[in-house]
Amino acid sequence: MKVIGLMSGTSGDGVDAALVEIGRRKSHVHVEMVAFHPLPYPRSLQQRILSASVSGTVAELCHLNALLGEWFANAALGVIRAAKLHPKDIDLIGSHGQTVHHLPHGIKDSGVGAIRSTLQIAEPAVIAERTGITTIANFRPRDIAAGGQGAPLTPGVHALLFRHPRHARLIVNLGGISNVTYLPRGSGVEGLIAFDTGPANMVLDGLMARSTNGRMVMDREGRSAGRGKVDGRLLAKLLAHPYLSQAPPKSTGREAFGAKMLDELTVMQQAQQLTIEDLLATCSRWTAEAVGTARRWIHGGIDEVIVGGGGVRNRAVMRHLAEVFTPVPVSTFESHGWDSKALEAVAFAVLAYQTAMEQCGNVPSVTGASHPSVLGCIIPSGPGWVAMLRSLHGRK
What is the pLDDT at residue 65? Answer: 98
pTM score, whole prediction: 0.91
155-336 matches 2-150+342-393 in CATH topology? yes
Spell out, as residue ranges, where the chain has pLDDT lower than 50.
Answer: 396
What is the pLDDT at residue 292? Answer: 97
In contact, 89 and 76? CB cutoff 8 Å: no
What is the pLDDT at residue 392? Answer: 65
Its CATH architecture, for the domain 155-336, is 2-Layer Sandwich (3.30)
- The percentage of the chain sitting over the pLDDT mark of 70, rounded to a whole number, equals 98
DSSP symbols for 161-211: HH--SS--EEEEEESSEEEEEEE-SSSSSTT-EEEEEEESHHHHHHHHHHH
Q: How far is the C-alpha of 75 from the C-alpha of 192, rounded, in Å?
A: 32
2-150+342-393 folds as Nucleotidyltransferase; domain 5 (3.30.420)
What is the pLDDT at residue 207? Answer: 95
pLDDT tens readout for residues 341-383: 999 999 999 999 999 999 999 999 999 999 999 999 999 998 8
| Cα–Cα–Cα angle for 189, 151, 70, rounded to 5 degrees | 120
Residue 385 makes CB contacts below 8 A (sequence gap 6+) with 134, 378
Q: How many CB atoms lie within 10 A of CB 273?
A: 8
What is the pLDDT at residue 55? Answer: 87
The type of residue at 318 is M
Query: Domain ranges in the chain?
Result: 2-150+342-393, 155-336
pLDDT tens readout for residues 299-348: 889 999 999 998 999 999 999 999 999 999 999 999 999 999 999 999 99
